[in-house]
Amino acid sequence: MSTILDLIGSAVIGAAVILLMLHLNMYSSNIKFSSDSELRLQQDAKTLADIVSYDLRKVGFRKSGTAMITAQPKKISFYSDIDSNGIVDVITYQLSDSLLVNNTTNPRDKILYRIVNNDTSKGPSLGLVDLNFEYRNVTGNITVNLDSIKYINAELWVESLEMVKDPKGKNNYLFTYWELTINPRSI
């Protein structure tokens, strides 16, 4: 009789150990996926910031007079010889509607449009959900006067492309925020 109880007890303990190992394996897989998703999110935010920063540094390059065309919170247009070919170009940045992005599960992500001389190139979404520009004068105060803009502040809100489980088991989109202030040399 005691042998049967020993076997049953061993089976219960063995099953508990196996279940704990399976749970640990699933937990470590979820943590790895979450960690990889956070890293990708940070890389995507940096890529978007680098793209915007590259062009904003060139605002007014080889343009005499007012370099800014449009200075709105969600749209910016400016003059610059962006490709250094001696011809001044018109560059515009604006966001698409979230309905145009269909290759991710995130319903809020948008495409960043970079328009050079009316030639639209759709950039990657990279999880960008919002973009905001602020324009500041030489003293750092917010301005709407195109001639007095000396600093451009860009804010990017980026979310993961796919949902990730948090430690409580709830599915969420990871989120990061990136802010940069550019002082273009030519304005």
Buried b (16+ CB within 10 A) or exposed e, 143-167: beeeebbebbbbebbbbbbeebeee
| 126 found inside a domain | yes
**pLDDT given at position 94:** 93
CA–CA separation, 62 vs 67, rounded Å? 9
For 65-93, the pLDDT digits (tens) are 999 999 999 999 999 999 999 999 999 99
Sheet hosting strand 151-159, strand order edge to edge: 128-136, 151-159, 175-182
The β-bridge partners of 159 are 175
For residues 72 and 66, give the distance between their C-alpha atoms in angstroms, rounded to a whole number.
Answer: 16
Per residue in 17-65, pLDDT (tens digit) is 999 998 888 777 777 777 888 899 999 999 999 999 999 999 999 999 9
Q: Is the pLDDT of residue 169 over 80?
A: no
Query: Which domain covers residue 78, as residue numbers?
Result: 2-182
Three-state DSSP state, 169? coil
| Global confidence as pTM | 0.81
Region 115-141 average pLDDT:
90
Task: Label the pairing between strands 119-122 and 112-116.
Answer: antiparallel
| pLDDT value at 125 more than 80 | no
Q: Is residue 187 part of a domain?
A: no
Domains: count for the chain: 1
Residue 129 placed within a domain: yes
Q: What share of the chain is helix, strand, coil (3-state, %, to 5)?
A: 35, 30, 35
Work out the percent of the chain whose per-residue pLDDT is above 70.
98
Give domain status of residue 38, yes or no.
yes
Residue 100 has pLDDT above 80, yes or no: no
Whole-number pLDDT of residue 93: 95
Give yes or no for a contact between 115 and 167, defined as CB atoms under 8 angstroms apart: no
> For residue 78, is it within any domain?
yes
pLDDT > 80? residue 124: no
Question: What does the pLDDT read at residue 164?
Answer: 86
**Torsion sign (Cα): 153, 84, 93, 110:** negative
65 assigned to some structural domain: yes
pLDDT confidence of residue 134:
98
Residue 33 domain flag: yes
